[in-house]
C-alpha cells in the first residue's frame, strides 16, 4: 500500500520531488567533497612532510657562517637529532630568463635561489614525490613557476650576468615543503653540484638555511628560545615546523571551510523546502487524513506514509551526492595534489565522507519527524469539517484598492497577497536572501583580495611602487644609493624608507625570543589599524594581529626588547593586520639595530600622469639587485594561488545560487498555483483573464525577489564581512572590509538573479491551464 501511494505521489509531483532530491544531493555532494578535501589535505601534507624529511626549525641567514660554532651548539644540545647547513645562491630576477630568452624575471616579487639537493633531510621532491636528482645542465623548477608560465619538461631557463651565461633544461618540477605556497616569497631552483659551484662563482651571493631536526617535535619552542639566546647566525627570519604546515594548508583549508559553509546553506534551504512541502501536502490531504483517523488508523501509521517518501528522496539524494563527490572531489583537490602530491588513500578517504552523508540523511529524517508532529493536533472531526489546525494564524488586516494610488488592479492584488500571506511567501524570500548572500559575499571577497588596497592587510601602506632590498653584501651602501636616487627624482611625489631588524624580546616567563621589527616613518604611507594608531615616538611599538594574540597584548600594554644591549620598554600604540611572514610582525619608530638588519623597503608615490610601468623599468635598470614592483603585481604574485582558488569557489557559488533560486521558484509557484486553484477559477469566472492572473503571480515574484535582494545584500555587507574576517583571522587579517565593485555586486549579480526568478515564475504561470479543472481538497 505504502509503495503504491509513494509511486502515485512521485508520478503526480515529479517536479517537486526532483527539486527536493537535487537540493539534498547538492548538499550531500558539497559536504562530502569538503570533508574529502580536508582528509586529502591532511594526508597529503603528512606525506609531503614525511617524504621530504622536513626540518623542525630553520634559521635563514645572510652572511658568513661558522659551522664549527653550530656543531659545538649541536653537541651540547640534547634536543637535536640532525643538523645541516644548506647554502643558497641568490640570483637577481633580472639575470634569470624563463622559457623566453628576451624576457627576464625582473617583475617577480619572489626571492630566487639556486640550490643543490640536500644530503640529510629537507629534500626537494619531484611530482612523483621522489627526491629530485638533476644532472649537469638540468634544473628542477618550483611548481609556482610551472603554473605561472605553463612550463613543460624540456623548456629552457637561462642565467645571464655580464659576459657569463648558463643554459638549463627543465627536467623536474619541484615540491618544496618550506617554500611551496605563493604566499611564501622565496623559491628554490635545484641544480647539480657542478652547476651550483659555477653559479656560486659567477652569478650571485650566498645565503644559508641553518636547519635542525629534533628528537621531539614538542620541544620546538624550547629549542627555538635556546637558539635565539645563543650567538649563532641569525641575520634572517626563522621558521618552524608548525609554520610550514600552516602555510601549506592555508589556501586549501580556507577553500574547504567555504565549501562547508555553502553546503550548510544548501542544507538549510533543503530543510525549508521540506517543511514547506510537508505542510502544503498535509493541507491538501487534510480530508484524507481525517478519513484515515476516522477509520482508526493511528498517527504513527499516517506519519509513516509521509515520512517514507522523504526517506526515499533523502536516501536517493544522499547516495547520489556521495557517489558524485567521488568524481567532483578531484576538482577541489587538484591544487592539493599538484603542490603536495596524491597521498595514498586511506580508509578515512571514503569512510569520513560516507559518515558525513549518513549524518546528513539522519538530520533530514529527524527534521521531517519534527514537522510531522503536527498530526497530533488534527482530529478526525476537524479534518472532515475542513477546519485547518496546522498552525493557521490570524490573517493580517488588508487594505483596500481605493486607499492606495495603484491604478493597476493586478499589481495591487499581487502585492496585497504577499502582505496578507507573508508567512507562506517567507520560505521563498529566505531562500532568495541566502542565494544573494552566496553570490555577493564571494564576489566581494574576490574583488577585495584582488584590489591594490589589500596591501593594507599585508602589513604595508599603499604606494605606487615598492622597492625591496634583501640582506646581502654592501646592502647599506646600496640602500643609500636607492634613497639618493629617489630623493632626486623630480617625478616622485613622496617616499618613505623602512628597515626590518631582529630584536630579542623578553617573554613573561623571562625567556627570550626574536621579534622582527620594521622601523621607519609610518605616517607617510599609513596602515589601517584595527586598534590604536601608528607608533609616533621611540617608546612606542605596533604589533600585528597574530603577534598581539599570541603575546596576549592589547593597546597600552608594554613589551620589552633588547636595543643596543639594553632592555627597553615599549608601549603598544596599535594593532594592525598582516598576512605575510606568518602574520607575525611589528612596527616601531626608534633607530635601527645595524647588526641584525634583515631587509630594507622603500615605498614611493609618483606624481600624477607619470607612467608607472616606465618608472618601474627605469628603477629596475638602475637598481638591478633590488626587487621593484607596483602594488598590483605585489598583491597578485604574493596571493596568486589563493586568488585562483577563490575564483573557482566564487564561480561554483554563483552557479549553485542561481540554480537553487530557479528550482525553488519553480517548485514554490507550482505548489502555490495548485493551492490557489479554486481562487484562480473564481477569478476567471468573474472576468480575470489568464494574462491578468499571470501578472498577479509575477508581481508576487518580483516583490519577493526584490525583498530578498535588498535584505540579502545588507546581510552580505555586514555578516558577510564578519564571516570573511573570521576566515582571514587564520592568515592574520581578522577585520577585513570589502572593496566592492558596485556595478557587479549591486547591479549585475542581482539583475541575473532577478531575471532568473522572474522568468521561472513566468514559465510556471503557463501551467495554470492545467489547474483549471482541479478543485481544492479533492472535491
- Tens of pLDDT, residue by residue over 244-274, are 888 788 777 777 788 788 878 888 887 888 8
Residue 482 lies in a domain: yes
End-to-end CA distance of the chain: 23
Residues 505 and 428 in one domain: no
Residue 30 lies in a domain: yes
Residue 395 lies in a domain: no
Of 216, 248, 273, the residue that ends a domain is: 216
pLDDT of residue 175: 92
| Distance, CA of 720 to CA of 728 (rounded, Å) | 12
Contact between 443 and 654 under an 8 Å Cβ cutoff? The reply is: yes
Of 187, 216, 245, the residue that ends a domain is: 216
| Distance, CA of 297 to CA of 318 (rounded, Å) | 31
Residues 519 and 638 in one domain: no
| Distance, CA of 326 to CA of 145 (rounded, Å) | 30
Q: Mean pLDDT across the stretch 117-141?
A: 91
Q: What does the pLDDT look like over 659-706, one tens digit per residue?
A: 888 888 888 888 788 777 888 888 888 888 888 888 888 898 899 999
Nearest to 178 by CA among 221, 123, 222: 123
pLDDT of residue 440: 92
Residues 241 and 382 in one domain: yes
What global pTM score does this model have?
0.75
Residues 54 and 108 in one domain: no
pLDDT of residue 773: 47
Question: Rounded to the nearest 5 degrees, what angle is found at the Cα of 681, between the Cα atoms of 678 and 683?
Answer: 110
Of 604, 624, 644, the residue that ends a domain is: 624
Residues 177 and 207 in one domain: yes
Other CB atoms within a 10 A radius of the CB of residue 648 amount to 14
Q: What does the pLDDT look like over 571-599, one tens digit per residue?
A: 999 999 887 766 778 999 887 666 677 78
Nearest to 235 by CA among 419, 400, 472, 452: 472
pLDDT of residue 443: 92
Residue 529 lies in a domain: yes
Contact between 449 and 642 under an 8 Å Cβ cutoff? The reply is: yes
Contact between 238 and 514 under an 8 Å Cβ cutoff? The reply is: yes
Q: What does the pLDDT look like over 131-143, one tens digit per residue?
A: 999 999 999 999 9
| Distance, CA of 183 to CA of 244 (rounded, Å) | 12
Residues 55 and 99 in one domain: no
Q: What does the pLDDT look like over 486-500, one tens digit per residue?
A: 899 889 899 999 988
Residues 444 and 537 in one domain: no
Q: What does the pLDDT look like over 475-486, one tens digit per residue?
A: 778 888 889 998
Contact between 340 and 48 under an 8 Å Cβ cutoff? The reply is: yes
Residues 528 and 557 in one domain: yes
> Which string of DSSP letters, residue by residue, matches 609-646?
T--HHHHHHHHHHH-TTSEEEEHHHHHHHHSHHHHHHH
Residues 149 and 51 in one domain: no
Residue 438 lies in a domain: yes
Residues 652 and 769 in one domain: yes
Which residues neighbour 402 within 8 Å (Cβ) at sequence distance 6 or greater?
A: none
Residue 397 lies in a domain: no
Domain residues for 116? 79-216
Q: What does the pLDDT look like over 498-517, one tens digit per residue?
A: 988 888 888 777 777 778 88
Question: Rounded to the nearest 5 degrees, what angle is found at the Cα of 248, between the Cα atoms of 503 and 132?
Answer: 105
Residue 597 lies in a domain: yes
Residue 248 lies in a domain: yes
Residues 267 and 183 in one domain: no
pLDDT reading at 540 higher than 80: yes
DSSP reduced 3-state for 89: strand
Q: What is the pLDDT confidence band of residue 779, given thresholds at 50, 70 and 90?
A: very low
pLDDT reading at 620 higher than 60: yes
| Distance, CA of 732 to CA of 546 (rounded, Å) | 6
Q: What is the pLDDT confidence band of residue 775, given thresholds at 50, 70 and 90?
A: very low
* Number of domain units in the chain: 4
| Distance, CA of 106 to CA of 102 (rounded, Å) | 12
Contact between 750 and 713 under an 8 Å Cβ cutoff? The reply is: yes
Residues 480 and 620 in one domain: yes
pLDDT of residue 379: 62
Amino acid at each position: 500500500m505504502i509503495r503504491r501511494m509513494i509511486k502515485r505521489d512521485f508520478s503526480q509531483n515529479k517536479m517537486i520531488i526532483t527539486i527536493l532530491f537535487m537540493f539534498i544531493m547538492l548538499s550531500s555532494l558539497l559536504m562530502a567533497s569538503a570533508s574529502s578535501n580536508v582528509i586529502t589535505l591532511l594526508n597529503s601534507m603528512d606525506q609531503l612532510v614525511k617524504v621530504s624529511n622536513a626540518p623542525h626549525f630553520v634559521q635563514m641567514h645572510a652572511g658568513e657562517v661558522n659551522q664549527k660554532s653550530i656543531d659545538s651548539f649541536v653537541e651540547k644540545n640534547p634536543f637535536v637529532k640532525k643538523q645541516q647547513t644548506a647554502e643558497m645562491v641568490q640570483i637577481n630576477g633580472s639575470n634569470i630568463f624563463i622559457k623566453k630568452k628576451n624576457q627576464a624575471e625582473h617583475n617577480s616579487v619572489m626571492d630566487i635561489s639556486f640550490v643543490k639537493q640536500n644530503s640529510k633531510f629537507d629534500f626537494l621532491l619531484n611530482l612523483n614525490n621522489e627526491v629530485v636528482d638533476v644532472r649537469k645542465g638540468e634544473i628542477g623548477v618550483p611548481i609556482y613557476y610551472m603554473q605561472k608560465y605553463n612550463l613543460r619538461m624540456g623548456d629552457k631557463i637561462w642565467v645571464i650576468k655580464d659576459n657569463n651565461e648558463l643554459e638549463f633544461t627543465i627536467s623536474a618540477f619541484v615540491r618544496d615543503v618550506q617554500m611551496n605556497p605563493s604566499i611564501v616569497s622565496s623559491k628554490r631552483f635545484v641544480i647539480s653540484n657542478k652547476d651550483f659551484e659555477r653559479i656560486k662563482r659567477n652569478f650571485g651571493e650566498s645565503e644559508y638555511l641553518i636547519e635542525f631536526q629534533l628528537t621531539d617535535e614538542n620541544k620546538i619552542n624550547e629549542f627555538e628560545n635556546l637558539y635565539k639566546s645563543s650567538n649563532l647566525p641569525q641575520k634572517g627570519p626563522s621558521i618552524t615546523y608548525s609554520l610550514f604546515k600552516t602555510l601549506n594548508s592555508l589556501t586549501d583549508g580556507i577553500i574547504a571551510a567555504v565549501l562547508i559553509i555553502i553546503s550548510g546553506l544548501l542544507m538549510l534551504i533543503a530543510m525549508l523546502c521540506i517543511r514547506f512541502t510537508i505542510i502544503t501536502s498535509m493541507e491538501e490531504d487534510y480530508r484524507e487524513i481525517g478519513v484515515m483517523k476516522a477509520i482508526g488508523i493511528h498517527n504513527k501509521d499516517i506519519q509513516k506514509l509521509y515520512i517514507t517518501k522523504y526517506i526515499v528522496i533523502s536516501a536517493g539524494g544522499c547516495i547520489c551526492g556521495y557517489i558524485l563527490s567521488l568524481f567532483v572531489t578531484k576538482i577541489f583537490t587538484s591544487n592539493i595534489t599538484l603542490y603536495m602530491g596524491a597521498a595514498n588513500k586511506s580508509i578515512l578517504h571514503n569512510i569520513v565522507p560516507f559518515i558525513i552523508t549518513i549524518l546528513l540523511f539522519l538530520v533530514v529524517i529527524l527534521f521531517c519527524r519534527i514537522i510531522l508532529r503536527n498530526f497530533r493536533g488534527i482530529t478526525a472531526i476537524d479534518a472532515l469539517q475542513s477546519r485547518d489546525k496546522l498552525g493557521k494564524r490570524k490573517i493580517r488586516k488588508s487594505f483596500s484598492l481605493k486607499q492606495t494610488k495603484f491604478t493597476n488592479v493586478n499589481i495591487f492584488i499581487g502585492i496585497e497577497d504577499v502582505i496578507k500571506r507573508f508567512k507562506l511567501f517567507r520560505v521563498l524570500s529566505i531562500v532568495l536572501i541566502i542565494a544573494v548572500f552566496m553570490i555577493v559575499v564571494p564576489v566581494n571577497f574576490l574583488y577585495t583580495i584582488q584590489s591594490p588596497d589589500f596591501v593594507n592587510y599585508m602589513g604595508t601602506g599603499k604606494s605606487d611602487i615598492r622597492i625591496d632590498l634583501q640582506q646581502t653584501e654592501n646592502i647599506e651602501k646600496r640602500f643609500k644609493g636607492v634613497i639618493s636616487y629617489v630623493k632626486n627624482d623630480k617625478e616622485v611625489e613622496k617616499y618613505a624608507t623602512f628597515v626590518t631588524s631582529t630584536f630579542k624580546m623578553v617573554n613573561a616567563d623571562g625567556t627570550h625570543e626574536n621579534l622582527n621589527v620594521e622601523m621607519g616613518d609610518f605616517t607617510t604611507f599609513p596602515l589601517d589599524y584595527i586598534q590604536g594608531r601608528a607608533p609616533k615616538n621611540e617608546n612606542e611599538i605596533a604589533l600585528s594581529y597574530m603577534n598581539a594574540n599570541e603575546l596576549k597584548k592589547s593597546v597600552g600594554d608594554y613589551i620589552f626588547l633588547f636595543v643596543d644591549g639594553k632592555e627597553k620598554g615599549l608601549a603598544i600604540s596599535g594593532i594592525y593586520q598582516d598576512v605575510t611572514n606568518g602574520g607575525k610582525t611589528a612596527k616601531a619608530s626608534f633607530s635601527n639595530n645595524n647588526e641584525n638588519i634583515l631587509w630594507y623597503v622603500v615605498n614611493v608615490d609618483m606624481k600624477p600622469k607619470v607612467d608607472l610601468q616606465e618608472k618601474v623599468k627605469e628603477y629596475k635598470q638602475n637598481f638591478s639587485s633590488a626587487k621593484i614592483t607596483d602594488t598590483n603585481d605585489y598583491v597578485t604574485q604574493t596571493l596568486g594561488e589563493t586568488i585562483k582558488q577563490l575564483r573557482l569557489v566564487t564561480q561554483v557559488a554563483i552557479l549553485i545560487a542561481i540554480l537553487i533560486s530557479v528550482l525553488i521558484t519553480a517548485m514554490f509557484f507550482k505548489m502555490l498555483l495548485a493551492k490557489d486553484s479554486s481562487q484562480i477559477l473564481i477569478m476567471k469566472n468573474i472576468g480575470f483573464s489568464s494574462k491578468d492572473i499571470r501578472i498577479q503571480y509575477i508581481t508576487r515574484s518580483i516583490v519577493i525577489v526584490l525583498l530578498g535582494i535588498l535584505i540579502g545584500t545588507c546581510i552580505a555587507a555586514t555578516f558577510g564581512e564578519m564571516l570573511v574576517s573570521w576566515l582571514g583571522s587564520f592568515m592574520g587579517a581578522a577585520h577585513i572590509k570589502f572593496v566592492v565593485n558596485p556595478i557587479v555586486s549591486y547591479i549585475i549579480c542581482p539583475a541575473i538573479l532577478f531575471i532568473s526568478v522572474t522568468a521561472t515564475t513566468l514559465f510556471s504561470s503557463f501551467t495554470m491551464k492545467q489547474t483549471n479543472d482541479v478543485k481544492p481538497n479533492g472535491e
